[in-house]
């Protein structure tokens, strides 16, 4: 049979039903130790009358091997050795059938199961239309803010948009487990609203078919097949990995109807802005691009560290620059009320400032 590419196996049919209760308990403990991406060697033991196979999963982490009953593609025989990639344990344990990959001579380095899983995911191109920046089609406020309370609502709205984006879902799960985040908030994130995966369909020859993640407008060549990732979450998982790797995040949307904002934040690399105290903590830079009705296009760049915040404003009109400089003192007081110290503030005029 062709083993040149991973093949999705159906969820395990049974964990040897009919065995003693202690054996079933051992099976539950065996799968409890597995994490998505973990690879196991297994031996095909025998073929059952219903066409399924009994397979002995190899021992790992001090645990003895375990027998399971699975559906395999046609062509396997008792005694065959196979490689399996663990995908998930719910609603039943499921694996991918992986090909044998020879190691290059003299190369002893190897990736962990999780490392290989992430590597395989990142090899796929982004789905058509996906973006590294978050976006929203719903304005954060129904109308322009008229007082400090509404300005606070605007900041809280942006914070909610980020929190509910799904980028931080796993850390929010940890907060929920420790009682620091209510379940109702967790259920507002995309991962909590994913439809249950259907049982894997089988072709006429008995081989299982992969579940595909596909953009409705994409062609067949744009389909993405990934083990262990819900088809509807492929773009989001890639985005999570890219944010973790680049330490860069962005958001685009409307603050109120007709008022657009492009916002981004990035963690400063060590040594990027000269020497700094290693114990001072991370330094973040953030930038906002927007075009206000009376002030025109404005770019606000902020640098935040343990010492305070540096603000640099770039505007298109000299009159706007004068207004901004006049507002330095109120800005300083506003930052101080939020627990931040204004270290410096500069206003530049640049007629090439982009419109938001």
pLDDT, position 104: 45
pLDDT, position 105: 46
**Separation between Cα atoms, residue 65 and residue 89, nearest integer Å:** 17
Mean pLDDT of the chain, nearest integer: 74
Is residue 264 within 8 Å of 249, Cβ to Cβ?
yes
Quick one: pLDDT band at residue 114, thresholds 50, 70, 90? low
Quick one: pLDDT band at residue 276, thresholds 50, 70, 90? low
- Tokens in use for 250? 């962005």
List pLDDT tens digits, range 46-75. Answer: 888 888 888 888 876 666 777 888 777 777
The proportion of the chain whose per-residue pLDDT surpasses 70, expressed as a percent, equals: 66
pLDDT, position 133: 64
**Separation between Cα atoms, residue 288 and residue 261, nearest integer Å:** 7
Is residue 188 within 8 Å of 166, Cβ to Cβ?
no
Q: Under 8 Å CB-to-CB from 320, ≥6 apart: which residues?
A: 295, 296, 298, 349
Inter-helix orientation angle 328-337/318-326, to 10°? 50
CB under 8 Å, gap of 24 or more: what pairs does 152-161 form?
A: 154/255, 158/251, 158/263, 161/134, 161/136, 161/251, 161/253
**Separation between Cα atoms, residue 128 and residue 235, nearest integer Å:** 9
pLDDT, position 322: 92
**Separation between Cα atoms, residue 46 and residue 54, nearest integer Å:** 5
Task: Name which residue leads in pLDDT, 256 or 200.
Answer: 256
The proportion of the chain whose per-residue pLDDT surpasses 90, expressed as a percent, equals: 19
**Separation between Cα atoms, residue 238 and residue 36, nearest integer Å:** 16
Residue 154 vs residues 140, 261, 340: alpha-carbon distances, Å: 6, 12, 19
Quick one: pLDDT band at residue 347, thresholds 50, 70, 90? very high
**DSSP letters for 248-275:** EEEEEEEEETTEEEEEEEEEPPTTBTB-
Q: Under 8 Å CB-to-CB from 77, ≥6 apart: which residues?
A: 44, 47
**227 φ, ψ to 5°?**
-75, 140
List pLDDT tens digits, range 12-59. Answer: 444 443 333 333 444 566 777 777 777 888 888 888 888 888 888 887
List pLDDT tens digits, range 176-194. Answer: 988 999 999 999 998 888 8
- Tokens in use for 24? 């079933």
List pLDDT tens digits, range 196-245. Answer: 765 544 444 444 444 444 444 444 444 445 556 677 777 788 788 888 87
Task: Name which residue leads in pLDDT, 286 or 58.
Answer: 286
Task: Name which residue leads in pLDDT, 281 or 190.
Answer: 190
Residue ranges of the alpha helices (H) in the chain? Answer: 21-32, 113-123, 148-163, 169-177, 183-186, 234-246, 318-326, 328-337
List pLDDT tens digits, range 312-335. Answer: 999 999 999 999 998 888 888 888
pTM for the model: 0.54
Q: What is the C-alpha end-to-end distance of the chain, expressed in Å?
A: 56
pLDDT, position 14: 43
pLDDT, position 331: 85
């Amino acid at each position: 049979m062709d083993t040149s590419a991973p093949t999705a196996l159906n969820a395990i049919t049974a964990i040897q039903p009919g065995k003693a209760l202690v054996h079933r308990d051992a099976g539950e403990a065996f799968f409890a130790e597995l994490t998505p991406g973990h690879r196991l060697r297994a031996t095909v033991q025998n073929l059952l009358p219903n066409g399924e196979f009994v397979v002995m999963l190899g021992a790992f982490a001090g645990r003895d091997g375990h027998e399971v009953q699975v559906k395999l593609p046609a062509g396997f025989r008792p005694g065959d050795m196979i490689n399996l990639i663990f995908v998930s344990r719910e609603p039943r344990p499921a694996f991918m059938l992986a090909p044998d990959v020879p190691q290059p001579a003299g190369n002893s380095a190897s990736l962990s199961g999780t490392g290989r899983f992430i590597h395989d995911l990142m090899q796929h191109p982004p789905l058509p239309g996906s973006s590294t920046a978050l976006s929203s089609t719903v304005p954060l406020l129904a109308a322009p803010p008229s007082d400090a309370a509404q300005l606070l609502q605007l900041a809280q709205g942006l914070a909610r948009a980020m929190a509910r984006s799904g980028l931080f879902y796993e850390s929010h799960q940890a907060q929920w487990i420790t009682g620091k985040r209510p379940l109702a908030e967790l259920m507002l994130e995309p991962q909590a609203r994913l439809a249950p995966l259907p049982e894997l369909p089988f072709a006429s020859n008995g081989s299982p078919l992969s579940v595909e993640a596909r953009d409705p407008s994409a062609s067949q060549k744009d389909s993405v097949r990934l083990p262990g990732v819900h088809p509807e979450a492929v773009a989001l998982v890639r985005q999570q990995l890219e944010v973790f790797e680049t330490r860069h995040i962005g958001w685009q949307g409307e603050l109120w109807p007709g008022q657009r904002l492009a916002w981004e934040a990035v963690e400063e690399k060590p040594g990027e802005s000269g020497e700094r105290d290693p114990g001072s903590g991370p330094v973040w830079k953030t930038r906002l691009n927007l075009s206000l009705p009376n002030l025109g296009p404005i770019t606000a760049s902020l640098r935040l560290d343990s010492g305070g915040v540096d603000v640099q404003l770039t505007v298109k009109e000299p009159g706007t620059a004068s207004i901004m400089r006049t507002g330095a003192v109120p800005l300083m007081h506003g930052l101080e009320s939020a627990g931040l110290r204004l270290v410096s503030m500069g206003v530049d005029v640049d007629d090439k400032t982009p419109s938001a």
